[in-house]
Structure 1
């Protein structure tokens, strides 16, 4: 298979008024080790982003805390402000050099962060701005109201939430239209099943973070190997194909800093699992 033959063949979904392919790209791994600092080869990281777009990936997900600031900057440098690519980012989570992720949903902080994200992404408007994680020290409604205000001000096109329960999703939707939810979900971890069902019923995009997890591959290795062999595919590709079959609102964002891994992930978009294979994978963890 030549590099030129790799193209994103996943079905499409509308985020607000913009149509994207459902298989996207997660840009967290563009950063240095442990998601801290810059990668050893920044030019190689930018080329991975550019190649993702060349392969037909038109939905890229990042966050201001990745690096922090590194992933957004590299994306801005790699593709700038393209009309044919939706770039989603997040605010509300801090990253320190000890490797901690610290929730911080203070409205003033979010208003400051949107300006820094706009600058790094080299754009006037963020396509999709997501509240990264609820903060126990800040009322949830106050944080969400800030995202709604940013949308009203024209700094943000669409608003999303991340790491939320069904109850918090309902509370967020009372204040602003929610375009997407980003929660952990994969073959092995289906703790957000209820939230996914709400998204499917309401036409809200569901972005599963950690769409491929090492536990997936270990826990269901024999089954994945059997199905992969039938399709001349890999375990990872089967796990991604299952996610795409799981719900029409599912928007997987497998992340990598490696061109070959990127192409392998995109190639999963043309893998067609049978109904029986989807059912076996679905039942495996239920």
Structure 2
């Protein structure tokens, strides 16, 4: 996503192509994109950059959240899902998508109908596995009853631990792989602190309470804690955040996004970091959900997901 939008202008096309090719060279073998990323341009980028290397990685994309005339829309109807898949296959220059997610739940379409359409795509050989993104444990269970769900994606990091309420357990019970997105806290969990007053006008973090003032400054004390722990383990803060994810759920597959080559290499190396039990326990205590200032989403963004929230978050809404 970062290569095409969300945290500022899209990366220059030539640089983005080289970046993706470098990722595969390093050993990355799971790439996550979506119809909505760059209004389809991110899928086109992957299709172009990695021609001839399709067998080197597992490809994931997403439907339901799409675009028309430059504007976003949400449509989980079977017809829309079929059309979105056909368009994604063309942009990605492939005949099959390994893992195809519902990007968001559509409140106007029963989850059973949407998953039924995805099951048809599996039967047709257009996708191999079905995934869900930002959905509640209850929705996951309903979907899984229609067709096996292979992966569930949701925001999960030291700063955002909502999946621990119910989604992680649901995934474990059903044998579903959990895929944490934004595992480095949308760039907050890094050695160089973010600067909210320097966010680009298109940066999504401008709309997320905990990444803007007054909450941002209040959360810097947590960043100091992470820096100290990272220093003790001789790793970067980003690597600490990823190692924490992997220690919390040893079967999860975090998908850190970056446009920085050094971070690309650092993130890959995080899998080699051993997280001592006492450090894990201390991080879990220091980064207790109620210790983080500010909600993770603005009200409009929160309305698009069905993931569980803590009681204190509900009161603060």
Please tell me the TM-score bracket, short chain as reference.
0.7 to 0.9
| Matching of residue 231 in structure 1 with residue 203 in structure 2 | no
Which structure 2 residues correspond to residues 1-286 of structure 1 after superposition, within 5 A? 28-32=1-5, 39-80=10-51, 82-95=54-67, 102-193=73-164, 194-213=166-185, 214=187, 218=220, 220-286=222-288
Q: Which runs of 4+ in 1 moved over 4 A?
A: 32-36, 95-98, 214-217
Q: Decide whether aligned partners of structure 1 residues 97 and 35 sit closer, same or farther in structure 2, where only a CA change above 3 A counts.
A: farther
Gaps of 5+ in 1: 1-27
Alpha-carbon separation, structure 2, partners of 1:108 and 1:95: 15
| Alignment match, 2:291 | none
Q: Secondary structure at the match of 2:179?
A: strand
The residue matched to 1:29 in structure 2 has which SS?
coil
TM-score (norm 2): 0.75
**Which of 1 and 2 has greater Rg?**
2
> Per-residue deviation at 1:270?
1.8
Gaps of 5+ in 2: 191-219, 289-317
Answer with 212-221 or 193-202: which moved more.
Answer: 212-221
1:35 Cα deviation after fit: 7.1
Alignment partners' CA distance in 2, 1:206 and 1:153? 25
Which digits, 9 at most, give the CA deviation of each residue in 1:16-73, with x for residues without a partner?
xxxxxxxxxxxx011046578xx35111101111111111110111101101111111
1:142 positional shift: 1.3
Distance (whole Å) between structure 2 residues aligned to residue 176 and residue 33 of structure 1: 32
1:235-275: CA deviation from partner (whole Å, max 9, x where unpaired): 11101110011112211100012222211211222222211
Contact between 1:206 and 1:251, CA under 8 Å: does it hold in 2?
yes
1-structure distance, mates of 2:49, 2:223: 36
Rounded Cα–Cα distance in structure 2 between residues aligned with 1:170 and 1:189: 22
Report the alpha carbon displacement of residue 128 of structure 1 after superposing the two structures with TM: 0.4
Q: In 2, distance between residues paired with 1:126 and 1:106?
A: 19
Q: Secondary structure at the match of 1:199?
A: helix
Q: Say if 1:185 and 1:96 are closer, same or farther in 2 by CA, change over 3 A.
A: farther
RCO higher in structure (CA 8 A, sep ≥6): 1
Higher helix share: 2
Taking only aligned residues, the RMSD between alpha carbons, in angstroms, comes to: 2.0
